[in-house]
Chain A
Amino acid sequence: MSEPLLEARGIVKSFGGVRALRGADFAVHPGEVAALVGDNGAGKSTLVKILSGTLAPDGGEIWFEGRQVTIPNPVVARELGIETVYQDLALAPELDPAANLFLGRELVRPGPLGRLGFLDKAAMRRQTNKAFADLGIGLQDSGAMVANLSGGQRQSVAVSRAATWASKVVFMDEPTAALGVVQSARVRDLIRRVRDSGIAVVLISHNMPEVMELADRIEVLRLGIRVTRIRAADTTMEQVIAAMTGALGNEEVA
């Protein structure tokens, strides 16, 4: 197995009296889709937030490209090349897709105007259209407010934002949870395209058929620690579910 791109070792995190993570491990390699699965309350979203810089862990180590790092805020995560599609999408509903894509990374006009903070909206819109086209998303009216788009379109905007900026890892927390059949299929296509471009994708999902279809490897979290890591090809959905609910013991499969 190649070196993990991003690795979490023994992460501990508590919220008040609740111990969400009790020494959880995780690893993802370049150019693969690693699924992070677990039942409700297993600690998946918490782990994602810690690895994406939104939360700080109480204990444990994070390793990136073979070096130990700390990720105190989302900006540091971004600088490392880690992007996240949160479960709540983290989009600004009253802004258009281009504004959302470039949120926090706005392009400014060249020259002195740029130093004063004048935006280059035309360039942002152009690049957004290109990014959408590259990822196969058809958004005819890219000037519409994100709030007026359908759930699937919004998801696409969030996914393409992460895919555009990520150079190393993309976390996707329940990317198709609120979508219908056709839209889910398109987002899954998107995920495969992102993986194929060499970026590591971490997929958090409840949707077991989707996990089995998309993931290259599956890591199972239960009650705050990792209980199993296995290649998708080497296992079945029933076995994974059993690991999630505790029917199988701890197993480390290379």
Chain B
Amino acid sequence: MSEIREVPPAETKDEPAEVVGQTGVQGMLRRRLTETTTWTFLILLGIVVGFAALRFEQFATVFNFRNIAADASGLLILAVGMTFVIITAGIDLSVGSVLVFSGVIAGKVMLALGGEGWGAIGAGLVAGLAAGLAWGVVNGVLVTKARVPPLIVTLGTLGMALGSALLITGGIDVRGIPLQLTTTVGIGQLAGVPYVVLIAAVVTAAGAILLSMTRFGRYTYAIGSNAEAARRAGINVDRHLIKVYALSGLLAGLAGMVSLARFATTTIGGHSTDNLAAIAAVVLGGTSLFGGIGTVLGTVVGVFIPAVLQNGFVILGVQPFWQQVAVGAVLIVAVYIDQLKRRAQERGERR
């Protein structure tokens, strides 16, 4: 080995030995504690405790929490898909429209098959999921092959999916969905937990595992962090991105089915802000819009912050318009704090 000339370091930052904080486990612990997810979880906890303190018997009941969870289940399913997309430094504005479109397709199929029975429901489910998947693939192909920015592509499919849904239905919500779907899945419960919450929970768990433990998840992070590096490492970036957008579309389709089950109708007019709500949830949860960073667990927290805020405000009797102001404010504050933290972390670890 050649001699290392011990020149007094002109730039101390070039020393590999002692820098970068603490060793292994300690470092990991410090990272966990300073992660954004931890702080947003504390914010959520703070909000819950706050409302409970103000209106205990009304807010802090199993009944209320069950309803909050059930009401948030559709958005959570959407947000899980959105997490993957945003981690690749992309975005999907079309989720609300795809949700509606999938519900319309599913509803029409169920009606065409007689409007009754689990066979019709099953066929409708398959049709709805396929519709969502198809829109997702369209998004993915346009983003990768046509090289149109995701913001523009998904803005376009937002319009096309919703427009198609309106064309198919003439602007009228599809009605006459098999009652069994609503009474069992839509409002039914298993051991006190609503089915829709269980579905959202399964999707969330699967998404979390996929993202954090598999090659698919690793590729998602890598592409968001440095797509060119991923390409040079031999990863088929285009194919992976198509899969990610397809996943988002598929989950939007599933959310459409869940909505259909809950409301027995397609609720075309009620999903125009779902896309922004999903994006806000993902960002609140600590995912960076620039890609490469984020978790599904964070997204769960991000979904529940606006949901709990809305619920608590109604209970408190706050004017409805204040809710939107509050959610917007929390979003800005949470992201701002995340930025401050990141910069501090970078400075600290460099030294």
Q: What residues of chain A have their CB less than 8 Å away from a CB belonging to chain B? A: 54, 73-75, 78, 84, 86, 89-95, 99, 103-106, 108, 116-119, 136-144, 147-153, 156, 179-183, 185-186, 188-189, 192-193
Q: Are A143 and B24 in contact (CB under 8 A)?
A: yes
Q: Which 10 A-B pairs have the closest CB atoms?
A: A94-B292, A104-B233, A92-B225, A141-B27, A183-B14, A90-B229, A94-B225, A117-B215, A103-B233, A104-B234
Given B4, B15, B226, B234, which contacts A75 in the complex, CB threshold below 8 Å?
B234
The answer to whether residues A118 and B214 also contact, given A93-B225, A103-B222, A143-B27 and a CB cut-off of 8 A, is yes
The 8 A CB mask of B326-347 against A (1 = contact, 0 = none) is 0000000000000000000110
CA distance A144 to B16 in the complex (A): 13
The distance in angstroms between the C-alpha atoms of A225 and B92, with both chains bound, is 48
Residues of A within 8 A of B350 (CB): 148, 150
A116 partner residues in chain B, CB cutoff 8 A: 214
Q: Contacts A103-B229, A104-B235, A144-B20 hold; do A185 and B292 have CB atoms under 8 A apart?
A: no
Contacts of A74 in B (CB 8 A): 231-234
| Contact across chains for A93 and B18 when beta carbons are under 8 A apart | no
20 pairs from A and B in contact (CB 8 Å cutoff): A74-B234, A90-B228, A92-B230, A94-B292, A104-B235, A117-B215, A118-B215, A136-B1, A139-B20, A141-B24, A143-B31, A144-B21, A149-B349, A150-B13, A153-B19, A182-B7, A182-B14, A182-B15, A183-B14, A189-B4
A residues less than 8 Å from B235 (CB atoms)? 103-104
- Given A74-B233, A141-B27, also A106-B218 (CB < 8 A): yes
Q: How far is the CB of B77 from chain A (nearest CB, A)?
A: 22
| Residues of chain B with a CB closer than 8 A to A188's CB | 2
In this assembly, does B167 line the interface, its C-beta being within 8 Å of a C-beta of chain A? Answer: no
Given A92-B225, A141-B24, A180 and B10 contact (CB-CB distance below 8 Å): yes
Task: Say yes or no: B16 contacts A139, CB within 8 Å.
Answer: yes
Q: Count of B residues near A, CB < 8 Å?
A: 48
Task: Tell me whether A140 and B22 are in contact (CB under 8 A).
Answer: yes
* Nearest neighbor of A188 in chain B, beta-carbon distance: B2
Closest to A153 in B: B16
User: Does B41 have its Cβ within 8 Å of any Cβ on chain A?
Assistant: no
Q: How far is the CA of A84 from the CA of B235 in the complex (A)?
A: 16
Report the nearest A residue to B216, measured CB to CB. Answer: A117
Q: Are B232 and A86 in contact (CB under 8 A)?
A: yes
Chain A CB within 8 A of B33 CB: no
In the bound complex, residues from chain B placing their C-beta under 8 Å from that of A193 are 1
- Distance, CA A94 to CA B20, complexed state (A): 15
A246 to B301, CA, bound (A): 65
State whether A142 touches B24 (Cβ < 8 A): yes
Chain B residues near A138: list those with CB within 8 A: 16-17
Min CB distance, A246 to chain B, in Å? Answer: 33
| Contact present for B232 and A150 (CB under 8 Å) | no
* Alpha-carbon distance between A93 and B342 when the two chains are bound, in angstroms: 14
Q: How far is the CB of A125 from chain B (nearest CB, A)?
A: 9
CA distance A238 to B147 in the complex (A): 48
How far does the Cβ of B240 sit from chain A's closest Cβ, in whole Å? 11
B residues less than 8 Å from A89 (CB atoms): 229
| Partner pick for A94 among B215, B224, B346, CB 8 A cutoff | B224
Contact B225 A180 (CB under 8 A): no
Q: A139-B20, A141-B24 known; A150 and B230 CB under 8 Å?
A: no
Name the one of B1, B17, B232 contacting A90, with C-beta atoms under 8 angstroms: B232
Q: Which residues of A contact B17 (CB under 8 A)?
A: 138, 140
Name the residue on A nearest B215 (C-beta): A117
- B20 and A104 within 8 A (CB): no
Task: State A86–B233 Cα separation when bound (angstroms).
Answer: 11
| Nearest B-chain residue to A78, judged by Cβ | B234
Which residues of chain B are within 8 angstroms of A186 by Cβ–Cβ distance?
4, 16
Q: Is B304 an interface residue (CB 8 A)?
A: no
A94 to B242, CA, bound (A): 22
Chain A residues lying within 8 Å of B228, measured Cβ to Cβ, are: 90
Chain A residue with Cβ nearest B30: A141
Among A84, A139, A144, A188, max chain B CB count under 10 A is at A144
A181 with B7: CB separation less than 8 A: yes
Is B191 interfacial (CB 8 A cutoff)?
no
Which residue from chain A places its CB closest to the CB of B23 in the assembled complex?
A140
* Partner of A148 from B16, B20, B221 at Cβ < 8 Å: B20
A142 CB to closest chain B CB (Å) equals: 7
Contact indicator B222/A95 (Cβ below 8 Å): yes
